């Protein structure tokens, strides 16, 4: 049973024009504690917003944080008029200009990302409904009443059981379809409107992820906001290579869960290893802590090449699309398990499991597509048990002397380095290896500085198997590759929000930093862990998910501890909270939404704009997607942005083509409404940017500290936040930042440690105290008509003048 | 020759518009002609002889410096003053014809780059190529940047250092 807070057919204009409260009598709750309750819920103005319903909010964001474009390609080849050259102000044959074209590609990326998360969510939802029934309750335990903050706010419903999630899913799918259609030739013509749609796609992505994670948490009994979720083993060195090994790659837990169930039901836990790479690893280890996490996506090719896995089970997203070929190289057996990635394999879903096992073992098929997770469990396990012994005898990787011999054939053409996404000095490393010194190759292997994309190998004019050489060199230190990660806990508890809501909003906790996303790091995985460590030491709350969470686990501090061992999993100052996989990212904006609701009593249902405005101006949260590479990551960041949360990307993030940058030199951009006094006042550039890309870790760390400033900080909170900003700036830049004067509103804001220096800066700048804004907002004053929003430079009409 | 004038990372190629290949002689001509040049120095420049050459070039031509990444500290440790900006921030300002420049004297008309990470520099140069027709970009890294207006070719270290030495003399 779903609680509708507004009748569906009366939505939109009717609800927007009237401030209506609906009283529900007789809501019967299912389950043990069935009772009659009366609930009064207020429906906000935008339940199930259509593509244009939040456009006026987007225009406000985009006016302050104007899109910055860095075209990755000057041409367009989407239709047969093309290719069209869009340089020097030229337009395509359809009339599109370079800005709109970039924005269109961003929208496309966000639609793809949102679709990937949400199709995954739909698959999980239907699979779990089939297993558990539509009426299976959404129960996240005693401490979580606001079970689905995004669904509540965006869709305007309170889902009570799995079946209810379908309504949110239907809505999301419909919106994504409209958004995708806008990418067709001859549809949208304004870059700003493309951006508004991209923000909507990002929001739909957030929604899809929430549906996916809630479904799996409740139906598969994953940790429910448990701050003490167990530590699970992480690292290539944790896998017992003597045992049969099944490796899961991808994101969808169903087939992994099928394998674990089969292994447990047949009491085979001690006889084999089930492990994973990428989010599949995180989610199977949430399902069962005996499953092991090999590591993030950067380990994929290395680990496959190492030959340790007897059976490779791929589900969806971020799997190597040449995995069939790679598996064959070392006689591993491949099972594809979802409609998204069939890999050209024969569909064996309806075959007898033993027949599939025999065909795989006897090489009659090059792999199997099995769309039934339980059958995957049986087949994968049986195959691994059958072939493991013989496979262990195979010689898969070259010996060190062979590596030296091969390396000595290098012609110094230099192309391995030129084609490397990070221009890594592979040629130099190979040359040294040719002389018997492997240390440079080892360095590239450590911390996944080389993330085994394989581009160098295919370019090599001597056909050196660089990836296999790297995999073998990595084996030398395999015993050190033993770490851990706290199992993904899912949502933040309401009680935790009650505890930290005030300190976060008032600034006593300097910020909530979320390290999310993939491993397209500019300089190895340890940068992420070092950033996390820096903020943990400074009392920030650090949240993480997906590959970022694994990268953090692969690092040990000076005392040899992982950060998960050192810091608790509490959502509190100095807490390191692994929420889970990619879909669990939903709990990060979810926590911010809960702060608005639990701490500030803002109603959620259908109330997107008020909640986002609250977060933008009051909740000092900042996302970091240091190695973001995928379209999903584009959607995640864009969705987070629409809630008013800034995100810092690594340098590769500029290849997404678009950032949202503020202009601190233009005062008019930072005018802000004081809702209490109904006046427009001069605000401060906080947060300074909405989507930023930093060139290196040092720059990013400073930027993150600054991006936690909010107009609503109390003086005490501001002092604390500035103190960290200045400290970090001094550490990496050697000085007190010049722009600190912009963030001192009154003398009380000045951090005591830096009083003298800051006063000197203030004097030099002719600083005068400003009033602290009591209720900062970028929303319109009540009763003001929204067309005001469109009188801004970003609007297409303004552009045309 | 071909290998010298395709982008250092070959896939950075964006379209038909390509940078002009320049030697130190032409590069210096561009600086001489510029009214308000700017020198953007990235974090790859960490040690001598590159660091010294970079500072010498800035001093020789008396060009204000913007540092990106954490290069501000590197230069400061050598008593060289600069204006720290993120590479995306400075690019964003440079594309606005109304921006007053680092010294408040007006938008720059030539921006010379050295030491930024190749691919992020390539993206920044793309922004300027498309949206900053009011200025010219020049890169003096050892990599050919097709998104610049003018670029040194792909070179080995020795040849590059030689090029930079030449940039120090008028
Ligand atoms: S969609 Fe437009 S810009 Fe792209 S190829 Fe077709 S006509 Fe050219
Ligand atoms: S595998 Fe990829 S990241 Fe590693 S050196 Fe080769 S090209 Fe670079
Ligand atoms: S591509 Fe191959 S031959 Fe060329 S430098 Fe690299 S390792 Fe040597």
On chain A, the residues whose CB falls within 8 A of the CB of B72 are 733-735
Q: Does pLDDT of A223 surpass 90?
A: yes
| CA-wise closest residue to A380 among A327, A302, A339, A322 | A327
Compute, in angstroms, the gap from residue A76 CA to the centroid of ligand 1.
6
Q: What mean pLDDT do residues A641-647 have?
A: 98
Q: Report the relative pairing of strands B150-151 and B20-21 from DSSP bridges.
A: parallel
| CA-wise closest residue to A149 among A549, A484, A660, A490 | A490
Q: Are A707 and A687 in contact (CB under 8 A)?
A: yes
pLDDT in tens, B93-105: 999 999 999 999 9
Q: Does pLDDT of A783 surpass 90?
A: no
**For the CA atoms of B51, B56, B62, B65, what is the dihedral angle to 10 degrees?**
0
- pLDDT computed for residue A263 by the predictor: 97
* Least confident piece of the model among A23-32, A420-429, A473-482, A760-769: A23-32
- pLDDT computed for residue A17 by the predictor: 38
Which residue is closest to B127 within chain A, CA to CA? Answer: A70
Q: Contact A665/B68, CB-based, under 8 Å? A: no
| CA-wise closest residue to A549 among A583, A522, A509, A573 | A583
Is the shortest distance between the CB of A520 and ligand 2 below 6 Å?
Answer: no
pLDDT in tens, A705-733: 999 999 999 999 999 999 999 999 999 99
- pLDDT computed for residue A787 by the predictor: 45
Is the shortest distance between the CB of A187 and ligand 1 below 6 Å?
Answer: no
Q: What is the DSSP string of A573-633?
A: TT-EEEEESGGGGGHHHHHHHHIIIIIT----TT-HHHHHHHHHHH--EEEEETB--SHHH
Residue with tokens 């970003």: A794
Higher pLDDT, A22 or A111: A111
Compute, in angstroms, the gap from residue A46 CA to the centroid of ligand 3.
58
pLDDT in tens, A561-591: 999 999 999 999 999 999 999 999 999 999 9
Which of the four pLDDT bands, split at 50, 70 and 90, describes residue A42? confident
Q: Contact B76/A735, CB-based, under 8 Å? A: yes
Compute, in angstroms, the gap from residue A189 CA to the centroid of ligand 1.
12
Could you tell me what percentage of chain A is helix, strand and coil, using 3-state DSSP and rounding each to the nearest 5? Answer: 45, 15, 40
Residue with tokens 């080389």: A450
Q: Contact A651/B120, CB-based, under 8 Å? A: yes
pTM (global) more than 0.90: yes
Compute, in angstroms, the gap from residue A30 CA to the centroid of ligand 3.
66
Q: Contact B127/A734, CB-based, under 8 Å? A: no
Instruction: Show the ligand 3 pocket: residues with CB < 6 angstroms.
Output: A 410-416, 426-427, 430, 459-462, 464
Is the shortest distance between the CB of A455 and ligand 2 below 6 Å?
Answer: yes
pLDDT in tens, A44-62: 999 999 999 999 999 999 9
Q: Contact B99/A70, CB-based, under 8 Å? A: no
Nearest chain B CA: its distance from A315 CA (Å): 30
CA-proximal residue: ligand 3, atom 2 (nearest): A460
CA-proximal residue: ligand 1, atom 6 (nearest): A79
Q: Contact A70/B68, CB-based, under 8 Å? A: no
Percentage of the residues of chain B whose pLDDT score is greater than 90: 96
CA-proximal residue: ligand 1, atom 3 (nearest): A92
Q: Residue B19 gets which letter from DSSP?
A: P
Q: Does pLDDT of A171 surpass 60?
A: yes
pLDDT in tens, A180-211: 999 999 999 999 999 999 999 999 999 999 99
Closest ligand (CA of A424): 2
| A21: β partners | A42
Compute, in angstroms, the gap from residue A300 CA to the centroid of ligand 3.
22
Which residue in A693, A695, A735 is closest to B116 by CB distance? A695
- pLDDT computed for residue A785 by the predictor: 53
On chain A, the residues whose CB falls within 8 A of the CB of B157 are none
Q: Contact A421/B10, CB-based, under 8 Å? A: no
What is the helix (H) or strand (E) element at residue A42, kind and residue range? strand A36-42
Q: Contact B70/A651, CB-based, under 8 Å? A: no
Q: Six-digit token pair at A225?
A: 């906001």
Which of the four pLDDT bands, split at 50, 70 and 90, describes residue A5? low
**For the CA atoms of A498, A502, A508, A514, what is the dihedral angle to 10 degrees?**
60
Q: What mean pLDDT do residues B157-164 have?
A: 97
Q: Six-digit token pair at B110?
A: 């030539």
| CA-wise closest residue to B10 among B162, B163, B165, B145 | B145
Is the CB of B84 inside 8 Å of chain A's CB atoms?
Answer: yes
Q: Six-digit token pair at B142?
A: 């050892």
Q: What mean pLDDT do residues A378-383 have?
A: 98
| CA-wise closest residue to B26 among B123, B148, B129 | B148
Q: What does pLDDT average to over chain B?
A: 96
Q: Does pLDDT of A788 surpass 50?
A: no
* Ligand 3 atom at shortest distance from the alpha carbon of A466: 7
Q: Does pLDDT of A10 surpass 50?
A: no
- pLDDT computed for residue A2 by the predictor: 58
- pLDDT computed for residue A248 by the predictor: 97
Q: Does pLDDT of A264 surpass 60?
A: yes
On chain B, the residues whose CB falls within 8 A of the CB of A652 are 119-120
Q: Does pLDDT of A692 surpass 70?
A: yes
**Which residue among A303, A456, A473, A525 has the greatest number of ligand 2 atoms within 8 angstroms of its CB, and so is best to mutate?**
A456
**Which residue among A424, A460, A465, A471 has the greatest number of ligand 2 atoms within 8 angstroms of its CB, and so is best to mutate?**
A424
CA-proximal residue: ligand 2, atom 6 (nearest): A456
Max Cα distance, chain B (Å): 42
Q: Six-digit token pair at A557?
A: 């501090």
Residue A173, classed as helix, strand or coil, is helix
On chain B, the residues whose CB falls within 8 A of the CB of A86 are 15
Q: Contact B86/A733, CB-based, under 8 Å? A: no
**Nearest-angstrom CA–CA distance, A212 and B116:** 40
* Least confident piece of the model among A14-28, A662-676, B31-45: A14-28
Compute, in angstroms, the gap from residue A92 CA to the centroid of ligand 1.
5
């Amino acid at each position: 049973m779903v609680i509708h807070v507004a009748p569906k057919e009366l939505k939109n204009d009717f609800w927007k024009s009237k401030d209506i409260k609906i009283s529900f009598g007789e809501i019967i709750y299912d389950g043990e504690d069935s009772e009659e309750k009366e609930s009064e819920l207020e429906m906000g103005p935008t339940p199930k917003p259509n593509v244009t319903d939040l456009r006026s909010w987007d225009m406000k964001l985009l006016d302050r944080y104007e899109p910055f474009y860095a075209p990755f390609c000057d041409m367009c080849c989407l239709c047969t008029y093309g290719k069209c050259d869009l340089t020097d102000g030229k337009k395509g044959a359809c009339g599109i200009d370079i800005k709109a074209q970039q924005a269109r590609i961003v929208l496309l990326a966000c639609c793809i990302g949102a679709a990937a998360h949400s199709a995954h969510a739909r698959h999980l939802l239907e699979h779990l409904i089939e297993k558990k029934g539509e009426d299976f309750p959404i129960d996240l335990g005693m401490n979580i009443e606001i079970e689905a903050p995004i669904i509540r706010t965006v869709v305007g419903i309170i889902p009570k059981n799995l079946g209810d999630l379908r309504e949110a899913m239907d809505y999301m799918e419909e919106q994504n379809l409209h958004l995708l259609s806008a990418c067709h030739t001859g549809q949208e013509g304004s870059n700003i409107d493309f951006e508004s749609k991209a923000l909507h796609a990002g929001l739909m992505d957030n929604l899809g992820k929430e549906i996916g994670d809630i479904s799996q948490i409740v139906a598969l009994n994953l940790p429910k906001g448990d701050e003490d979720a167990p530590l699970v083993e992480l690292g290539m060195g944790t896998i017992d290579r003597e045992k049969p090994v099944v490796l899961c790659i991808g994101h969808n837990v169903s087939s992994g869960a099928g394998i674990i169930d089969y292994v447990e039901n047949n009491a085979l836990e001690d006889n084999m290893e089930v492990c994973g790479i990428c989010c599949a690893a995180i989610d199977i280890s949430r399902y069962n802590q005996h499953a092991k996490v090999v590591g993030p996506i950067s380990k994929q090719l290395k680990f496959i090449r190492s030959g340790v896995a007897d059976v490779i089970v791929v589900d969806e997203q971020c799997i190597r699309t040449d995995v069939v070929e790679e598996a064959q190289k070392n006689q591993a057996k491949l099972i594809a398990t979802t409609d998204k990635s069939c890999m050209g394999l024969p569909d064996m879903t309806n075959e007898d499991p033993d027949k599939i096992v025999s065909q795989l073992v006897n090489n009659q098929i090059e792999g199997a597509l099995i769309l039934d997770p339980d059958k995957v469990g049986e087949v994968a396990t049986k195959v691994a048990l059958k072939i493991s012994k013989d496979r262990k005898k195979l010689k898969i990787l070259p010996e060190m002397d062979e590596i030296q011999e091969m390396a000595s054939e290098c012609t110094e053409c230099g192309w391995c380095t030129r084609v490397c996404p990070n221009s890594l000095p592979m040629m130099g490393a190979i040359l040294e290896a040719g002389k018997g010194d492997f240390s440079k190759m080892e360095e590239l292997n450590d911390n996944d500085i080389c993330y085994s994309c394989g581009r160098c190998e295919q370019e090599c004019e001597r056909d050196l198997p660089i990836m296999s050489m790297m995999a073998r060199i990595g084996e030398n230190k395999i015993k050190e590759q033993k770490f851990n990660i706290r199992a993904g806990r899912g949502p933040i508890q309401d009680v935790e929000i009650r505890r930290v809501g005030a300190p976060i909003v008032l600034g006593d906790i300097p910020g909530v930093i979320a390290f999310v996303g993939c491993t397209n790091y500019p300089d190895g995985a340890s940068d992420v862990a070092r950033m996390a460590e820096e903020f943990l030491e400074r009392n920030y709350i650090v949240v993480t998910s997906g590959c970022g969470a694994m990268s953090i686990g692969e690092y040990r501090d000076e005392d040899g501890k992982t950060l998960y061992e050192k810091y608790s999993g509490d959502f509190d100052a100095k807490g390191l909270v692994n929420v889970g996989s990619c879909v669990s990212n939903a709990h990060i904006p979810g926590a911010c939404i809960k702060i608005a609701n639990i701490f500030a009593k803002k109603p959620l249902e259908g109330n997107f704009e008020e909640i986002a405005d609250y977060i933008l101006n009051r909740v000092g949260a900042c996302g970091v997607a240091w190695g973001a590479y995928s379209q999903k990551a584009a959607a995640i960041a864009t969705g987070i942005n629409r809630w008013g949360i800034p995100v810092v990307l690594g340098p590769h993030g500029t290849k997404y083509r678009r950032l949202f940058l503020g202009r601190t030199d233009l005062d008019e951009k930072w005018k802000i409404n004081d809702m209490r006094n109904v006046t427009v006042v001069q605000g401060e550039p906080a947060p300074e940017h909405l989507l930023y890309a930093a060139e290196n870790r040092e720059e990013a760390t400073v930027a993150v500290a600054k991006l936690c400033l909010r107009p609503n900080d109390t003086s005490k909170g501001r002092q604390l936040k500035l103190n960290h900003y200045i400290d970090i700036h001094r550490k990496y830049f050697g000085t007190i930042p010049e722009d600190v004067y912009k963030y001192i509103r009154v003398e009380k804001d000045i951090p005591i440690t830096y009083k003298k220096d800051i006063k000197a800066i203030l004097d030099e700048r002719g600083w005068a105290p400003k009033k602290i804004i009591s209720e900062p907002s970028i929303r319109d004053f009540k009763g003001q008509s929204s067309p005001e929003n469109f009188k801004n430079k970003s609007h297409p009409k303004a552009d045309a003048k | 020759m071909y290998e010298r004038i395709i982008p250092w990372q070959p896939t950075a190629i964006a379209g038909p518009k390509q940078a002009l290949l320049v030697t130190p002689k032409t590069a210096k001509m561009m600086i001489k002609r510029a009214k308000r040049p700017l020198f953007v120095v990235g974090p790859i420049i960490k040690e001598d002889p590159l660091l010294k050459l970079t500072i010498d070039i800035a001093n020789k031509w008396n060009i204000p410096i913007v540092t990106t990444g954490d290069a501000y500290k590197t230069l400061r440790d050598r008593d060289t003053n600069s204006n720290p900006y993120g590479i995306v921030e400075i690019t964003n300002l440079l594309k606005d014809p109304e921006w007053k420049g680092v010294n408040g004297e007006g938008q720059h008309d030539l921006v010379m780059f050295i030491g930024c990470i190749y691919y992020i520099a390539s993206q920044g140069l793309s922004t300027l190529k498309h949206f900053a027709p009011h200025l010219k970009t020049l890169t003096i890294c050892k990599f050919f940047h097709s998104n610049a207006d003018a670029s040194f070719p792909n070179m080995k270290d020795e040849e590059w250092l030689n090029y930079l030495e030449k940039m120090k003399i008028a």
